[in-house]
Amino acid sequence: MTTAYVGFGSNLGDRRFYIREALRLLDEVPGIKVKRVAPLYRTAPVGLTEQEWFFNTVAEIDTSLSPHALLAALLAVEARLGRVRTRRWGPRTIDLDILLYGDLRLHTPDLTVPHPRLTERAFAVVPLADLAPEMILPGGAKARDLAAALAAGQEISRVEEDLDGCVRSKK
As a whole number of angstroms, the distance between CA 80 and CA 122 comes to 27
Q: Which among 92, 117, 121, 158 is annotated as catalytic?
A: 92
Longest dimension (CA), the chain: 44
Q: Which among 20, 27, 97, 130 is annotated as catalytic?
A: 97
Q: Which among 95, 105, 164, 168 is annotated as catalytic?
A: 95
Q: Which among 20, 83, 121, 130 is annotated as catalytic?
A: 83
168 is catalytic: no
Q: Give yes or no for a cis peptide into 114 (omega within 30° of 0).
A: yes
105 is catalytic: no
Selection from 4, 41, 8, 5 nearest residue 24 by Cα: 8
Q: Which residues contact 92 (CB under 8 A, 6 or more apart)?
A: 9, 10, 11, 12, 83, 84, 85
110 is catalytic: no
92 is catalytic: yes
Q: Contact at 8 Å (CB) between 78 and 29?
A: no
Q: Which residues are catalytic?
A: 83, 92, 95, 97
